[in-house]
Amino acid sequence: MNEISMALKGINVFCDLVCVVGEGVKQIDRPAPHNDDQEFLDQLSLGNRVVNVTFSIADVAFTIAGADNATMEQLKQLETYSRTSNVFVQIAKQYNQMEPGFQGKLVFIERGIVAPTVDVARSIFESDAYREKGLLGRLSKEKNPIQYEECKKRLDDSVTGVRNSTFIRAGAEFSVVSSAAKTIYQRLADRFIPLRHAAGANQANAANNVFSLVALNRIPDEFANDVILSRYICPISQAPIRFPVGDPDGTHVYEREEIIAWIRLRHTSPMTRRALNEQDLVPKPALQALINHRLRFHEQHLMAYVAQSPLYQLNETLPADPNLQGNANQENPNL
């Protein structure tokens, strides 16, 4: 067994282990109330994942022990049955928990269809490869060059199938495509929704301000390539400017906090190297208005996405007991 084949088996074991751990953690951290159908599918999925990871570990163990091709072929045939059943389980599970919108459909296709289906294909390719290896050994003794070359070609095709399906499965399991396809608003929501929940229901203004992009002291990294905001980059931080101020000669614009910190340390302009004081900085109200307007534009789109986010809905529809919340608030000096 060459190093590449062993590495592919290692990737498969890793994917199966990650899936088992993920399913297990989900079972432990399941919020209440919860969907009974989804709970059943999750338990069924976890059981199937455990069986699959057992096959993966057995595959590595048998390979290291030097099992013959016939034994490995039989192991792979049994594994194929288990992974085929996983296709139906994952389709039902991912469909039942599919989020609305394009992103949700993409995750469903990746994790509900592509990952388990390609996983079955990988198992079949491996079974075929062991069969062809056994046949290749017999043909080498019979000295039949034509059949030998045909068998060798089929083996090469099977090995290529194993390699390709392993990488495709790994990418689909970790939602590589859907993660790359996330919009800036989805990434912002993933970051801000937990912060809003942490702000507390009794601090409605603070909680709502979490989604206020205008209230931020810096431009979020998600807007680094914004068609408007990216035009105004601070020469010190190399990031889009949130609060613009300029040199007295009007040749350069900076992020206010960045240029003030620079001046306090060096007392010169970072661009002209001339003497520069804080009181010399010139506000840029028109540019500030444009930046604020652009942030409000993005804030509207962010709120539209958040309103449909299952994570947001979960946090909003699972309120704490009013009496318990009130008593707890009295004991919390930070409120």
Q: Are residues 113 and 234 in the same domain?
A: no
What domain count does the chain have?
2
Q: Are residues 79 and 195 in the same domain?
A: no
pLDDT digits (tens, 9 = 90+) for 96-113: 878 766 667 888 888 889
Taking residues 45-53, report their average pLDDT: 91
This prediction's pTM: 0.57
Q: Which residues of 86-99 are buried (b: 16+ CB within 10 A; e: fewer)?
A: bbebbbbbbeebbb
By the 10 Å C-beta count (0-12 exposed, 13-18 middle, 19+ buried), 182 is classed as: middle
* 3 vs 334 pLDDT, higher one: 3
Residue 310 has pLDDT above 60, yes or no: no
pLDDT band of 202, cuts 50, 70, 90: very low
Q: Which domain holds residue 34?
A: 3-180
Q: Are residues 243 and 258 in the same domain?
A: yes
Q: Are residues 197 and 170 in the same domain?
A: no
pLDDT band of 318, cuts 50, 70, 90: very low
Domain boundary among 180, 202, 223: 180
CA distance 9 to 60: 7
CATH value at residue 258: 3.30.40.10
Domain boundary among 130, 157, 180: 180
Task: Name the one residue in this structure whose structure tokens are 């045909």.
Answer: 150
| Residue 179: per-residue pLDDT | 60
pLDDT band of 35, cuts 50, 70, 90: low
Q: Are residues 17 and 160 in the same domain?
A: yes
